[in-house]
Structure 1
Amino acid sequence: MLTGLLLIPFSVSTGVSAARKVERFAKPPAGFTGNPSALEQRVLDISTPSGPDYGRHLSKAEVDQYLRPTHEVWNTAVAWLPRTVLSLPTGPRPATGCHYREDATGVTLTRTLTYSIPDDVAHAIQLVHPLSSLWTSARRGSHGKLTSSTHFQPGNKVSERQATPASCPAPTSNLASPVCFMDLYGIPVIPATESSNKIAVTSYSDQWAKHSDLEACIPSAIPTGHHETYNIYEELLLGGSNPQDQPAGFEATMDIQAVMGIATNVSTSLVSIGNDTQENWALETAMYFAEMPDDELPGVVSTSWGSEETSLPLAERICNVYMQLGARGVSMLFCSGDGGVEGFYPKPGCTDFTPTFPSSCPYVTSSAVPGFGTSLRPERSSAQDAAVSAYLAVLPANHTSRGHFNESGRAYPDVSAQSLWLALVQNGQSVPGGGTSQSTPIVAAVVGLLNDRLIAAGRSNLGLLNPWLYSDAATAWNDVRSGSNNGCGTAGFSASIGSGWDPVTGLGTPNFLALLNVLGLS
C-alpha cells in the first residue's frame, strides 16, 4: 500500500494555468510506507520494558527498510501519475470545488467535493491529501484559564513529601520559578551532562522567543552555580522565523523557558514552523523530524499545539510517522487541548466529545491539566487498555458522559503537570505562564533529564513512552484525585473516581525520584 502520496492543489485562474510537472523518481520518496504492520510490532517490542528488545532503537536506515512499498505498488502508482505539463481549460471553473471557512480561526481552505482514481490504481493508494480532507489549523494549548483554588495542590503523592515546597509562592502570588516545579516533583537542581541529549520545542503561527528574555529568565530562576551554561539552537522550517528585533510570542516564550528552566543544561532547539503549514502543520513537522540523520535527532519533541481529529485517514498517516520516530528513540509529547471533552476550544451545544490530534495517536504522549478525549480509532493500544478499562469499570453506568465518546478508543491524557503559574520573561517583562501549554514542556523537561541519566549510564533514550508509562512507571506518578472536565452538556469526567489513571490528569504528575528508581538509576 502506498501511503505517502500527497496530491497538492494549485491556484487556478479563469484563464489557462500550468500544473506542476510530476517527476519520475528512481526510488520511493521519503514517507512512503510499505509494511507498517511489521514496523508497528517492532516498535512495540522496542518499547515494552518486559521484552528482550526493550531500548534497542532502530537507525533511520533500519526504519527505512520498513517504509519501502513493493515494486508492484510503486510501479502502479508511477505509471498512473502524469509525466508531462498539463494545460487546464479556459473559462469558468467547474463546479467541483468549494471554499470552507473554519469558524474558530477564520482560515479558508479550498477543496474539491469529489475526485476519482482508476480501479487498477486504487489498491495502491491509501491517502490522497489535501484534495478533499478538511483539517483544522494548529491551535495552542490554553493559558490563564485556571483559578487559584487549584494552586499547587500536590494531590496524593507516591513520595513522603506532602506539603507545598517553600520554593513555591503563596496562594496570593501568580509567579513560581522553575525551582518550585523542580521541588514539587523531586527534581535535583543538577545540570545535565550528556552532549548527545537533546530536546526540541516546536512553535507555529509566527511565534518565536527572544534570546534576551531567556538570558534574563534562566539566571534569575535557577540557584547560583547551576546555570553557568545553557545551549539553545534555532531551526527554521517552511517559512519559519525568529527575528530578535520583534516582540516575542507568548507560547514560544513559555515553552522554551519551561523546558530550559527545568532541564538545566540539556541542549534545546526551538523549531519555528511558518504559516505556510497551517493546514498541514502536523504532517510537515513529523516528516521534518523523520528525515533527520540519527546524530541530529532529538530524544524529546515538545509541542503545545494541536488540532482536532477530523480526518481519520490523514491522522493515521501522520501517526505512522510518529511511530517511525518512536522506533528511533524519540519521545513525542503533545498537549491535550483547551476545551477538555469539547476538543481544542469550547463548543456550546455540542453533543459528542471531540478528540484532539496528535494526542489521539497512540505513538505520542499526551499531557494535560485538564483534558480528555478518545480517538475515532476503533481500538486503543494494549499498553493502556487495563488502566482505561479500570476507570470505565467504576464510572457509573448512568453517568452523563456515557454515550458521548468512543469507549474502546485511544484515551488521553497520559500524564499531567502543574499548570499555575510559571514565572516567565516576555519582551523584558515578568509575566505568568500557565495552562495545558505549560504542562507539556514541563513533562518534556522531566523526560529529557531522565534521558540524560540513561545516556550517562550507557543506556538508550526512553523513546516511545506509553508502554513504559502504563507498566513499570505506572505507580511512579503522583496520583491526582481532584479535578473535572465537564462539557457538551455533561459532567464530563472526574479525577476523584477510582485511583490511578483518570481522564482528567492521566497517570498523574511526575515523581522524579520514583521514576529514576523504576529505571534502576536511583
Structure 2
Amino acid sequence: MHILPAALAALLSVATATPVAQPKVHQDHARSPYAVKETHFVPRGWTATDDSTDQLLDLKIGLKNKKFADLERHLYEVSLPTHHRYRQHFSKEEVDNLVRPDEEASSLVNEFLQDHGISKEQCRYSSAGDWISAALPVAQVEKMLNTKYSVYKHEDGTTMIRTTEWSLPQHLHEHISTIQPTTAFLRASPKLQTVLESPDADFNEDDWDPPSATDLISVCNFEGVTPACLRLLYGTDDYTPQSPNSSIAFTNYLGEVANRSDASRFLTMFRPDAVSSASMFDQISISGGPVDNGTAGAGYEGNLDIQTIAGQVWPINITSYSTGGSPPFQADLNTPTNTNEPYLVWLEYVLGQQEVEQTISTSYGDDEQTVPQSYAQAVCEGFAQLGLRGVSVLFSSGDFGVGSNDTCYSNDGKNTSMFLPAFPASCPYITAVGGTRGYPEVVAYDTRNGYVSGSGFSNYFAQPAYQKDSGVVDKYVESLNGEYDGLYNKSGRAYPDVAVQGYRYIVIYNGSVITLDGTSASCPTMASTISLVNDALMADGQAPLGFLNPWLYTGAGEKAFTDVVNGSTTGCNTAGFPAAAGWDVASGFGTPQFPTMLDILGLGDS
C-alpha cells in the first residue's frame, strides 16, 4: 500500500522525464579551475600494463543527492515496526522526487558536458535524472577529468581500464558525487568457493528416492544439502504460497546464466511439483548480459541461485537479472561498453522500473577497499531507494572470514594490517547473510578449500541507527575484551545480520551432480524464506516487509531466529570473530524460523 506523504504530494507535478534545457550558467562558473575530486590507491594484486586512448568507456556521472538525509529518514520510518508509517512504502515517483537533482546541478553538469562536445542526445538519463551516462573515447574522458587512464591487470588475469585520480572544475564538486569507471576496481566476484565433487559420484535421478520421513535427521544429509532439508530445517515445508503477485529475483554478473535444462533436472529430482518453474522463470538481460541459450552448465552461480530459490518458493514468480560485463574485459571500438561497475548498471535499470520484485538476492561482492568511498556510497544509496520502495535486498557476506590469509593490509599506501570488510555486504541498507553448516548449526567453513563465512565491520559506513539503538553490536565488541583492537573499525556497520546453511549444496551443473560451498548458497536461501513471509503478508492484504534490518534489530532477530553460538570467521591468519550467545558478528542473529516470523507478524494461522 502506498501512502503519499503531504510533503511529497506537491512534488509529483515535477517532471520525471529527461532533464530539460536550463538557463545558461554564468561563464565564470563554467571556466572555474580544476581541482582533484578523488584519489584512490591501486588495490593489491593489480598492475598497470599500458596506457590506452583508442577505446570507449561507458561513463556514468552521479549527481549528488542533497536530500539523502530525508530519504534515509523515510526509509527508517517505513521499516521500523514501532513507527506509525511502518510498511507504508513509497512509489517509484515518490522516490524519484527525493533523489532528483536540483535545476542548478543539472544545468551546470549538462553545460560541462556540452563544453566538452557532448550533447544531450549522446547521453542517457536515469528516470530521476540523478545519473547521466554516455559512451565516450578514453581520450575525451581524460581531457574532461584531467586524468590519465591505464589498462590494469589483476594477478588472476582480469583487466580493467582505470585511473587513480581525477579532477573536476571546482564549482562541480558540490554537485557530482562520483564518476565511474575511474577509480573503482570492484570485480563483483561470486561469493562462491571451489566446486566440490558430489558425495556420491553415481548420484542421479534414477537412484534418487525422495525421503518419506519427516524428521530432520532422516531428511537432511549435511554433506549434500537439498531443498527438502532446507524447507524442514527452517520451517517452510508446510507453507504453500498464496499470493499471485509474490515475486523474487536474483542477480548475476560476469557472464553467469541460470540454465533451464539443469534447473529442470534438479527440480525433477528434488522438487518435482516445481518442475515447471524451470521453464517459467523470467530472464532479463541488462547491458548485453547473457541469458540461457539452451546449452547446459552456463554458470555455477546462476544454476545455484535458480535451483535453490525454485526448490523453496514454488509457485512464486522468479526473475533472473543478467548484467553484462564479464572480466577479463577490455573495451575497444568494437566492444564499446565497459560495465565492470555492475551495480550501477543494474541499479539504473531496476530503479527505472515501475514495479520491482519484493525480494532480491545477490551473491557477489569484493573487498570494500577495492572501491572508493564515493562509489560505495552512491551504490548503497541506490539500495536504500529500493528499500524505501518496499524491496528486501539481501547480499552474501563473503567466503574468506575476516579476510583471506596473507592479504589483510590497508589500501592507503601504508600497508597497515587490518581485517578486510566486504562490499556491498558492508552497506547499511541491505541485509547481509552469512553461512552455517551442520546441525546444530555452526559458522560455516570447509578446510578442503579454505571457505569460511565472511564477517566484519565497515571502514566506510558508520554503525547504523538500528544497530546502535539495539546495543547488540556494542555489547558484542565489549565481549571481545580488546581482542583484535586496531584490526577493525569498532564504530563501523557490522555484518552479517543473519545466517543460513552455506555448505555443500547439491546442484546440477552441465547435467551432472556437484556440491557447492559458499554464502552464495546462503543468500538465496534466506531470500527465499523472506519471499515466503512477504507472500503471506500480501495474501493477507498487507504490504511486504521491505528493508529488513530495523525489523530484525527491534525484536524479530531475537525472537524468530535460532542463535548460532559455535564457530568463528577465521581469516587474516587469526581465529577471527567468534560466535557467541545473542547477536554476534560471526552469524548475526542466527538462522530463520519461518513459523515464528509469521507469528510475530500476526499471521500464525497462514
Which of the five TM-score ranges fits, normalised by the shorter chain? 0.7 to 0.9
Whether 2:446 is the aligned partner of 1:361: answer no
CA change 1:206–1:21 in 2 (3 A) is: closer
Match of 1:287 among 331, 348, 360: 348
SS in 1 for 2:499: coil
- 1:428 is displaced (CA, Å) by 1.5
Aligned to 1:501: 583
The 5 A counterparts of 1:213-292 are: 213-222=262-271, 231-241=280-290, 242-275=292-325, 279-292=340-353
Distance 1:211 1:190 in 2: 25
Measure how far apart 1:126 and its partner are. Answer: 2.3
Pair 1:301-2:342 in alignment: no
| 1:317 and 2:358 correspond | no
CA distance in 2, matches of 1:387, 1:64: 34
Secondary structure of 1:376's partner? strand
Deviation per CA, 1:315-340: give whole Å up to 9, x if none. 00000110000000111111111211
Match of 1:381 in 2: 464
Amino acid at match of 1:121: L
- Return the alpha-carbon distance in structure 2 between the equivalents of residues 18 and 204 of structure 1: 21
Deviation (angstroms), 1:179:
0.8
Q: Which amino acid aligns with 1:70?
A: D
Find 1:65's aligned residue among 97, 108, 124. Answer: 97
Aligned match of 1:202 = 251
Kept in 2, the 8 Å contact 1:303–1:335? The answer is yes
Q: Which residue in 1 is equivalent to 2:592? A: 510
Shift, 1:420, TM fit: 2.6
Aligned residue among 487, 492, 509 for 2:571: 487
User: Given the superposition, is the C-alpha separation of residues 519 and 106 from structure 1 closer, same or farther in structure 2, using an over 3 Å criterion?
Assistant: same
Work out the CA distance in 2 between the residues paired with 1:47 and 1:371: 26
SS, match of residue 205 in structure 1 = coil
Give the whole-Å Cα distance in 1 for the aligned partners of 2:592 and 2:602. 16
Larger deviation, residues 278-287 vs 56-65? 278-287
Does the CA-based 8 Å contact 1:201-1:270 persist in structure 2? yes
* Alpha-carbon displacement from aligned partner over 1:337-374 (angstroms, at most 9, x marks no partner): 121111xx544464211111111111111111222121
Instruction: Choose which of 502, 527, 549 in structure 2 pairs with 1:466.
Output: 549
- In 2, distance between residues paired with 1:103 and 1:195? 46
Name the CA distance, whole Å, in 2 between partners of 1:20 and 1:376.
28
**Is 1:206–1:274's contact at 8 Å kept on the other side of the alignment?**
yes
| Native 8 Å contact 2:192 2:516 kept in 1 | no
Asked if the contact 1:21/1:85 (under 8 Å) is kept, the reply is no
Number of equivalences: 478
Q: Percent identity?
A: 31
What SS class does the counterpart of residue 108 from structure 2 fall into? helix
Q: 2:257·2:303 contact (CA, 8 Å) conserved in 1?
A: yes
Match in the other structure for 2:442: none
3-state SS in 2 of match to 1:38: helix
Give the direction of change, closer, same or farther, for the CA distance of 1:454–1:30 in structure 2 (3 Å limit): farther
Counterpart of 2:441 in structure 1 is none
Measure the CA separation in 1 of the matches of 2:274 and 2:149.
57
In 1, the alpha carbon distance for the partners of 2:399 and 2:603 equals 35
Aligned AA for 2:569?
N
| In the alignment, structure 1 residue 391 sits paired with structure 2 residue 480 | no
One-letter code aligned to 1:12: T
Aligned match of 2:161: 110
Is the 1:178–1:423 Cα contact (8 Å) retained in structure 2? no
Show CA shifts across 1:388-421 (max 9, x none).
Answer: 1111121122x1x221011001010111101232
The alignment's C-alpha RMSD in Å is: 3.2
Aligned pairs for 1:334-353 (under 5 A) are: 334-342=395-403, 345-348=404-407, 350=409, 351-353=417-419
AA of the residue aligned to 1:201: F
Conserved 8 A contact 1:176-1:421: yes
What residue is the counterpart of 2:185 in the other structure? 135
- State the TM-score, normalized to the length of structure 2: 0.73
The answer as to whether partners of 2:192 and 2:301 remain within 8 angstroms in 1 is no
Give the stretch that moved more between structures: 101-110 or 78-87.
78-87
Cα distance between partner residues in 1 of 2:180 and 2:188: 17
Secondary structure, in 3 states, of the residue corresponding to 2:572?
coil
The 1:371–1:229 alpha-carbon spacing in structure 2 relative to 1, beyond 3 Å, is closer
SS in 1 for 2:224: coil
1:30 is displaced (CA, Å) by 9.4
2:479 aligned partner, one-letter code: V
What's 1:159 paired with? Answer: none
| Distance change >3 Å, CA 228–CA 257, structure 1 → 2 | closer
CA 1:298–1:18: 2 relative to 1, 3 Å: closer
Deviations 1:52-103 (A, max 9, x none): 000000000010111122222222222333256389999xx99952536353
Alpha-carbon distance in 1 for matches of 2:138, 2:454 = 50
Kept in 2: contact 1:190–1:264 (CA 8 A): no
Determine the C-alpha separation between the residues in 1 that align with 2:339 and 2:312.
30
**Greater strand proportion:** 2
* Alpha-carbon contact 1:34-1:68 (below 8 Å) kept: no
Q: Which amino acid aligns with 2:562?
A: N
Looking at structure 2, the residues matched to 291 and 428 of structure 1 have their Cα atoms a distance apart, in angstroms, of 37
C-alpha separation between the residues in 1 aligned to 2:58 and 2:501? 49
Give the aligned partner of residue 47 of structure 1: 79
Distance in 1 (CA, whole Å) between partners of 2:254 and 2:276 is 32
Tell me: CA distance 1:304–1:346, structure 2 relative to 1, closer, same or farther (3 Å): farther
- Tell whether 2:531 aligns with 1:448: yes
Q: CA distance change for structure 1 residues 212 and 115 in 2, over 3 Å: closer, same or farther?
A: closer
Give the letter aligned to residue 566 of structure 2.
Answer: S
Distance 1:49 1:429, change over 3 A: same
Q: Is the 8 A contact 2:339 2:345 kept in 1?
A: no
Q: Aligned with 2:460: secondary structure?
A: coil
Aligned partner of 2:218: which letter?
A: A
State the partner residue of 2:204: none
Q: In the TM superposition, what are the counterparts of 1:131-210 in structure 2 within 5 Å?
A: 131=182, 133-144=183-194, 164-169=216-221, 174-210=223-259
> Cα distance 1:428–1:20, how it changes in 2: closer, same or farther (>3 A)?
closer
CA spacing shift, 1:53–1:341, aligned 2, 3 Å: same
